Chains A and B, each alone.
Chain A
Amino acid sequence: EVQLVQSGAEVKKPGESLKISCKGSGYSFTSYWIGWVRQMPGKGLEWMGIIYPGDSDTRYSPSFQGQVTISADKSISTAYLQWSSLKASDTAMYYCARLSGSYYGGYWGQGTLVTVSS
């Protein structure tokens, strides 16, 4: 059974750094793209970027380029999303999704709620 398990909720202050994770199981982790999606409170879905864990090829959506870093450690089947300096506007639910063979979000993690507040 394909599963994506994300790390737990975080509460941070503006300016702090953060790295959240998404662990894949039940499939070949290196063979499928994983994407990250932001959902701000009460708002819609936004693709942030995708990574191919097999070779770490990474593509960012223009709105998120330079704002976050997406990475993966294939030895532990885990993808990451990180910030070097959080802002209050980063407060959101973040989902990881495994792309299907047709490159859509076929499997999703449960989401990680990030709250940034002074």
Chain B
Amino acid sequence: EIVLTQSPATLSLSPGERATLSCRASQSVSSYLAWYQQKPGQAPRLLIYDASNRATGIPARFSGSGSGTDFTLTISSLEPEDFAVYYCQQRSNWLFTFGPGTKVDIK
């Protein structure tokens, strides 16, 4: 089973700052990686799929990059509604796994 690790566990930033979140896979997942946002009491929302494609309706301040084992989610300028937990997820060989999450909170 492919294990995903995310860093940092918590990122404390102010609105308007840039957020850089990392996700590392225990073996290559090619570009089969997604990012989700989850706010308290809500279901997750798909932000990025196949490493770098924004899902429908996702603002351009969210971008994804990477391939193989190292991936990055960047939020170019944090809006108040962006403070949430972010999960990466891989879908290699029909065995889907999530990373443990990065919480982005207000500094």
Q: Give me the interface of A with B, judged by CB distance under 8 Å.
A: 35, 37, 44-47, 50, 59, 61-62, 95, 97, 100, 102-106, 108-111
Q: What are 22 of the A-B contact pairs (CB < 8 Å)? A: A44-B87, A44-B98, A45-B38, A45-B44, A47-B96, A61-B96, A61-B97, A62-B95, A95-B44, A97-B43, A100-B46, A102-B49, A103-B32, A103-B91, A104-B34, A105-B34, A105-B44, A105-B46, A105-B89, A106-B46, A110-B43, A111-B43
Chain A contacts for B53, CB-based, 8 A: 102
Question: Chain A nearest CB: distance from B92 CB in Å?
Answer: 10
Q: How many pairs of residues, A versus B, come closer than 8 Å at their CB atoms?
A: 59
The A interface, classified by DSSP as helix, strand, loop or mixed, is strand
* Across-interface contacts of A104 in B (CB, < 8 A): 34, 46, 49, 89, 91
- Chain B: interface residue count, which band? 20 to 34
Contacts of B91 in A (CB 8 A): 103-104
